[in-house]
Structure 1
Amino acid sequence: MTIRASLARFADMLAYPLRHSHYVELVNPLWTTHALMARVEDVRAETVDCSTLTLRPGTNWRTHRAGQFVRLGVAIGGQRHTRTYSISSAPGREDGCITVTVKAVPGGRVSEHLIRQVQVGQYLPLGEPQGEFVLPESMPVHPLFITGGSGITPIMSMLRNYAQEYEVIPDTVHIHYAPHQRDVIFGQELDTLVATQKHYQLSRYYTQTGASHFNIEQLEASCPDWREREVWVCGPTGLIEAVEAHWAKAGLADKLHVERFHAPIAKTSDAATPGRVIFKKSAAEASSDGINTLLRIAEDIGLNPKHGCRMGICHGCDTKLVSGCVRDMRNGTLIAEPGDTVQVCVCSAVGDVELAL
């Protein structure tokens, strides 16, 4: 054990039942070791409904890989809410900061708060970088990026990383979809890349001015050699499904790398069954329409259960089923055995349900 670790252990003994890091947090939240925090250094508008937050991570931060995401927390009305956002900056910035670019979701309490209410100097809980939507570290590739809306954020991290590490972006084709020209996130920076990087080819399609969300004609015009390229796609569900279907039909599904912002919801012929949801540990209950997720139902009655990705990946929202039946909305599977694990972010109630939550 190192001298520093020994001293930290001794300090924790003196600070019991807390840890010495809790007292350090009072001086500077970025110095804590029991939790990772970030200070907001800047908030910059990208479009009318999208902003980039520049964050300075605390002591425990480890460098991300371009394309990864983080959980970001914020306190609203006395409750902490957590959402997942892609990192839009390149790894290893000289100033030690990272950026996340947040687009407001209609009715989204967290996204609206982050882009309109968060102030410079505020401290936010930050998660470790996660995700496999990354470029290979050792094998050179000639990527095709297909993005829509805020799906450009992890790709921007990759482009910035190319420019930062190698100065010259390699042979890259990028197809981007947005409602209008004014809605293109990072629009000016993309224009600069087009003007200065001769191997970067960008095609933009505006879906509210006649262009559709992906078709073979657009693909052939923008990237004639698409069959030979590795593909990274991120954006709205409709765009991802169209790209997946096309590459599957071509027998090239193994060349696709996909990043989703929402869990894919399975189509089911079963009618939704309304009922009551009882949250045992919280001593609370609510009505269910059989459609909304159990997490949303809990939040709507003022509960704040632990969660992370909100799409069934991280298992941060796992709880136990006490009684009743729930449906996994990703595949339609019914979970009805008491004691089984329920991911409340991707499950809906089927009739009356009791959870350990």
Structure 2
Amino acid sequence: MSRISPLSRVASVFTTPLAPEDFLSLVNPLSSSRQLRGVVTAVVPETPDSATIHFRPGRGWRAHEAGQYARIGVEIDGVRQWRSYSLTTAGGEDPAITVTANGAVSEALVRHTRVGDVLFLAPPQGDFVLPEHPRPLLMLTAGSGLTPVMSMVRTLVRRRSDADLVLVHSSRSLEDALFREELSALSAEHPGLTVVHWVTSERGRLDLTSTADLEATVPDWRGRAAYVCGPAAMLDAATDLWRDQQVPGQLVVERFAPVLLEGAGGEGGLVTFETSDKEIEVDGSTSLLEAGEEAGVIMPSGCRMGICHSCVTPLLAGQVRDLRTGEVHGDEGQLIQTCVSAAAGPVHLEI
């Protein structure tokens, strides 16, 4: 049970109905215990369309493990929008996120974030973390899938002189590759780190539908614990390959989007947003979150993949289909996750 100091009790007499901390937050935006926040301390361009944003979190933040992510909230046109981003600094260090301008929130972060800006935060989470015991590792990444792995690389090379890590990163060109110069310097300094840049404009996509590319690039790949992060097609191919080669227990996958069943939305229908007084006709593969945003409704959201539950909204009438499992469900008043639910006929939502 938390205790209120005598000084706080006295101060609250003069600040009611607000709490003393509400006034303190006007001076120090990190002082609030109601909403975790962070102040931007540096913005470092990585490529023409990406930047690393360093921030100093306030109280309530806990040190992250290498590979974890955090939900970040920003104000856009007076509306607080939440998205999940991997933390790219070494585990336990002051946090940073590396963002590629893809989508409204990411675009705003890359183009408009300045030192001194305040970010809204949720504590680090996620199970895409380093193994408990040392062993040879293989990291397969593409595009922004490198961001959680970069935290792992930075952590390993600084803490373990015997680290044995092969990183194969896929990008359209070397200019598009995140952290290229730093990775080159780290691999030159640490013999146990091997970095392979797979440039798709020259070699085509890394083919994981067979073992040929892996055998040629990392001959001992079967003996390494593998981590893969990138586009859904890459993750699906890796999952199938490791299973077919009977080494599934050595593969850890990080997805930035939910696994959806093909055509899992069924027939779709007319979605009515009661409080907003708006409606839209959608097909069965469009999530209710996307439907609301297309209709101009201010929709709460976070991870957008069915993990954080920030998007839950009461269902007033109708039924929805879970885009991950195909299950149809719906009871009046039931809280549904709009990011992974689609209309299974007419739907009314309390938003």
Shared fold per TM-score greater than 0.5:
yes
The counterpart of 1:290, out of the listed 284, 289, 298, is 284
Q: CA deviation at 1:270?
A: 7.0
Shift of 1:157: 0.4
Judge conservation of contact 2:265–2:285 (CA < 8 Å) in 1: no
State the one-letter code of the partner of 1:209: E
Structure-1 residue corresponding to 2:203: 210
Partner of 2:30: 30
2-structure distance, mates of 1:7, 1:246: 63
Higher alpha-carbon deviation: 63-72 or 303-312: 303-312
Task: Tell me the residue number matched to 2:19.
Answer: 19
Aligned to 2:348: 354
Could you tell me how far apart the structure 1 residues matched to 2:343 and 2:156 are? 46
Aligned CA distance change for structure 1 residues 176 and 329 (closer, same or farther; 3 Å): same
Q: Distance in 1 between matches of 2:277 and 2:162?
A: 56
Q: Indicate the residue corresponding to 2:294 in structure 1.
A: 300
- Once the two structures are TM-superposed, the CA of residue 72 in structure 1 deviates from its matched residue by 0.7
The aligned residue for residue 124 of structure 1 is: 119
1:21–1:34 Cα contact (<8 Å) kept:
no
2:317 is paired with a residue whose SS is strand
Residue 302 of structure 1 and its aligned partner are, at CA, apart by 3.7
Letter in 1 for 2:225: E
Task: Deviation per CA, 1:137-189: give whole Å up to 9, x if none.
Answer: 4x2222111111110101100111123333x3601111111111111100001
Contact preservation (8 Å) 1:169, 1:197: no
Matched to 1:114, the amino acid is L
Aligned residue number for residue 146 of structure 1:
140
TM-score (normalised: structure 2):
0.92
Find the residue that maps to 2:321 and give its secondary structure. strand
Write the distance in 2 (CA, Å) between the matches of 1:30 and 1:223.
46
> What is the match of residue 315 of structure 2?
321
TM-score by length of 1: 0.90
Unaligned 5+ residue runs, structure 1?
none
Instruction: Say which of 167, 174, 190 aligns to 2:167.
Output: 174
Of residues 163, 183, 186, the one that matches 1:193 is 186
* 2:229 is aligned with 1:229: no
The secondary structure found in structure 2 opposite 1:320 is strand
Decide whether aligned partners of structure 1 residues 2 and 104 sit closer, same or farther in structure 2, where only a CA change above 3 A counts: closer
RMSD between aligned residues:
2.2
Q: CA deviation at 1:123?
A: 0.6
- Aligned partners of 2:66 and 2:148 also within 8 Å: yes
- Distance across 1 between alignment mates of 2:129 and 2:6: 38
1:330: Cα distance to partner?
1.6
In structure 2, do the counterparts of structure 1 residues 272 and 164 end up closer, same or farther at CA, with 3 Å as the change threshold? same
Give CA deviations for 1:9-63 in whole Å, capped at 9, x if unaligned.
Answer: 6655754433322211101101221111111112121112111111111122210
Alignment of 1:236-251 (within 5 A): 236-251=231-246
Identity score, percent: 39
Moved more, 323-332 or 109-118: 323-332
SS of 2:293's partner is helix
Which amino acid is 1:144 matched to?
Answer: L
Secondary structure at 2:198 match in 1: strand
1:300–1:16 CA distance, 2 compared to 1 (3 A): farther
Residue 342 of structure 2 is aligned to residue 345 of structure 1: no
Structure 1 residue 209: deviation in Å? Answer: 2.0
Q: In structure 2, what is the Cα distance between the partners aligned to 1:248 and 1:114?
A: 38
Q: 1:302 to 1:25 in 2, by over 3 A?
A: farther
> Are the aligned partners of 1:176 and 1:204 in contact in 2 as well (CA < 8 Å)?
yes
The structural deviation recorded for 1:350 is 2.7
Contact 2:169 2:198 in 1 (8 A): yes
In the comparison of the two structures, how many residue pairs are matched?
Answer: 349
Q: Secondary structure at the match of 1:325?
A: strand
Rounded to whole Å, the distance in 2 between the matches of 1:135 and 1:162 is 9
The corresponding residue for 2:96 is 99
| Preserved contact between residue 274 and residue 348 of structure 2 (Cα < 8 Å) | yes
